Amino acid sequence: MKNEKTLGIGITQRVPLEILTRAITQIVEYGEFSRSELTGIVNEHDKGDNRKAKVERTAAKIVFGSKKYLDALKSLLDLRTITGEESKLLAIALSAIAFPSFHVLLTSLAQQFRVQETVNRAFINKVLYDRYGSSSSTEHGVDAVMPMLVEAGVLVRKSLGTFTKGALPALISKEVCEFWVLTDLKVSRNKSIAVDDLVHRPWSDYCPDVLRASESPKMLTVENLLGSKAYLKMDPNPRNSNLEQK
């Protein structure tokens, strides 16, 4: 595995979640989505040419870099039943697949929130600097990731440089829970997760109904590997994607 400090944090530009949720909607509803369509959405949202180019590059990596999982979502989701908050959770999950720094930070924050209500920017910086190195790119990465997490509602900015965990939806759909667990498996490189352990994983702290992921899953498989203990595993044969990558 390549050294993560050498690879860097990856993301240095914030993407407004509206861009990602609109892309998800088009993919799930129509099954196809091109780079030119993404360009159109970005152009509607941003005006400055330099910023637009950076936003589009980052959004393209999130959308097209996760294309096989997005394709699986088409058969999984009924957008009529998905709330705006759940769409934002899906956008964060896709961002974590493209940029694991989202997973690194959220799992570290979840562990911290278990012992205290707030975290400060110094702690956040340390988590990502320790993982990806102290550099201007990492600093820009923090500035990109944090507003997206606040916009998604998983974090709340209490004051300048101080954050707490957001008030999550009272009920999260089974399908969104399943995709949240799939993201955890994918990014953490675990082959399986025991169903009994789901609620104890830091990533699951942002999805209170995470156990619903084991109810007749479509993108995961349930196996009884040790007696009656059930494990969730990723489907080894995800669908081929119809998304256009350019």
The model's pTM is 0.89
Summarised one tens digit per residue, pLDDT across range 22-47 is 988 888 777 778 999 999 999 998 77
pLDDT in the model for residue 47: 74
In order of their start, the domains of the chain are 174-234 (1.10.10)
Report which of 204, 246, 237 is spatially closest to residue 69, judged by C-alpha positions. 237
Summarised one tens digit per residue, pLDDT across range 175-223 is 889 899 999 999 999 888 989 899 999 999 999 888 888 888 888 888 8
How far CA 121 is from CA of 100, 157, 182, in Å, comes to 19, 10, 29
Q: How far apart are CA 188 and CA 203, in angstroms?
A: 10
In the predicted model, is pLDDT for residue 244 greater than 50?
no
Report which of 65, 69, 94 is spatially closest to residue 245, judged by C-alpha positions. 65
Report which of 1, 20, 7 is spatially closest to residue 137, judged by C-alpha positions. 7
